[in-house]
Amino acid sequence: MRFALSLALSALVLLGPGSASGQGPPPTIAIIIDDLGLNQEAGARLLAMDQPLTLAFLPHRPYTREQARAAADDGKEVILHAPMANKARIGLGPGGLAADMSQREVQSTLHSALASVPGATGVNNHMGSLLTEVKEPMGWVMDELAGRDLLFIDSRTTAATVAETTALSKDVPVMSRDVFLDNKRDQASIHRQFRQLLRKARKDGTAIGIAHPYEETLDYLEAVLPELDRHGYAIATVSTVWSMRHNNRPLFPDLPDPRLVQKQE
């Protein structure tokens, strides 16, 4: 933990302040934590964090329903982490969307998956290097999301993804991941990726990172996130980042204020 804190502080100090006081919103990051619902302890650690994280739950997993409900009650954002067909032929598990499914199968599977994640305000893809390249099934996915007023976050597991363009054609609010924080699980690599996320936020105003509930990642986030505010950065849910990128137009106007930008005290 001491190593994580040292890296966390240097990530902020070496980059310098995010923004000067009174000069508009600070550089703002959203962090999505994927693969939730399988590990009770990791889920509990994330729920204990004060920051408005976005938690992505796999459907029909042992702790999905309980922890998704608790996360939404705590002001965090909850999304479905939808398993999608991949080129490595890795098994999808319950709620998976395969490339050979019919429209009815895709939409009924997605409907059931969403029902298993209480409070979900959107979807991002788990794997999906195959499915997100194919326009027709992604169109069926977006039709289902459009009918439910849900957001889609493209994890960008393939450079050839058509998810974002397909979502836009169906009037589904959509954004894409900017940085994977922990493709390598060692602290030094997570540190480098986190600095990249902050640089992106300083350049563009906002940035979206994706991470996983690894012990190394949780140690790092527990150390760095409480330091963001005093160094001029903010953290927000993905819905808030979408709003910031669209002239502060609320994505979900009926949701309560805790899903707005929350600077750390």
Please check whether residue 83 lies inside any domain of the structure: yes
CATH number at residue 228: 3.20.20.370
Distances (CA, A) of 114 to 61, 119, 122: 12, 9, 9
Please check whether residue 135 lies inside any domain of the structure: yes
> Which tokens belong to 176?
């894409």
Please check whether residue 265 lies inside any domain of the structure: no
Q: What is the pLDDT of residue 20?
A: 44
pLDDT, tens digit (0-9, with 9 covering 90-100), for 119-145: 999 999 999 999 999 999 999 999 999
Q: What is the pLDDT of residue 10?
A: 58
Residue found by looking up tokens 């040292």 in the block: 6
Backbone angles phi, psi at 101, to 5 degrees: -75, 150
List CB contacts of 12: < 8 A, sequence separation 6 or more: 198, 224, 227, 228, 231, 233
Please check whether residue 160 lies inside any domain of the structure: yes
| Residue 24: how many other CB atoms lie within 10 Å | 7
Please check whether residue 43 lies inside any domain of the structure: yes
Please check whether residue 64 lies inside any domain of the structure: yes
Domain that holds residue 193: 2-13+25-246
Q: What is the pLDDT of residue 264?
A: 38
State the total domains in the chain. 1
Single pTM value for the model: 0.90
Q: What is the pLDDT of residue 251?
A: 83
Is 206 within 8 Å of 178 (Cβ atoms)?
Answer: no
Please check whether residue 257 lies inside any domain of the structure: no
Q: What is the pLDDT of residue 252?
A: 62
Q: What is the pLDDT of residue 128?
A: 97
Is 131 within 8 Å of 99 (Cβ atoms)?
Answer: yes
Backbone angles phi, psi at 173, to 5 degrees: -60, 135
Please check whether residue 142 lies inside any domain of the structure: yes
Q: Mean pLDDT in runs of 10 for the chain (265 residues)?
A: 55 55 83 98 97 98 98 96 96 97 98 98 98 98 97 98 98 98 96 97 98 98 96 96 93 54 38
> Which tokens belong to 70?
């608790």
